[in-house]
Amino acid sequence: MKVSAKLKYLRIAPRKVRLVVEQIRGKRVIEAESILNFMTKKGSLPVLKLLKQAVANAKNNFQLDPLNLFVARITVDEGPKIKRWRPRARGSAAEIQKKVSHITILLDELEKKTKKAKRVKKTEEKAAVKEIEKKTEEAPIEIKPVKAAPKFKPEKEAPKPKVEKTIRRFFRRKAF
């Protein structure tokens, strides 16, 4: 079951919010919350609140388990721009565009594994273990003692040649 939540007219530019959103796309809800909690971007707090709202919608409206949800789709769209003007030189004016974001999040349930598939896997594992046990009974494994690695003496380093210290000029105004 897909659950959605929307946030409209967020006064942060969509370009900045998309940086935050890309980090949580496709992640489980728990991972996404922890990523958003520790993110230093300004857009992480509204996105975190929206994620929590979507989880609450899933839990209260559809009785879904929050641990079994992941971020299926999250989009950031551009809203209407608020336009302001700033005076410039010689009586001209420059336009200032204050951008607005609309965020939509879509949560979905993880696929549940069937019990039959688990039983098949367990029986296959048991069969594999039995085969290994049979092979070890037929041919016992010989255990050889491990020899200690030889100890090497560290080589003495050659003494470094002494270099005479002279004054070096780092900056020369003339090329010669």
Which residues sit opposite 73 in a β-bridge? Answer: 106
| Domain covering 3-85+94-109 assigned CATH 3.90.470.10 in the classification | yes
* Polymer length of the chain: 176
Amino acid letter for position 59: K
pLDDT block averages, 10 residues each, the chain of length 176: 95 96 95 96 96 96 94 96 96 97 96 58 72 63 65 69 64 61
What is the pLDDT, as a whole number, of residue 109?
Answer: 94
Separation between Cα atoms, residue 168 and residue 47, nearest integer Å: 57
Q: Give me the residue spans of the domains in the chain.
A: 3-85+94-109
Q: What is the DSSP letter of 170?
A: S
Q: What is the pTM of this model?
A: 0.63
- Name 95's bridge partners: 85
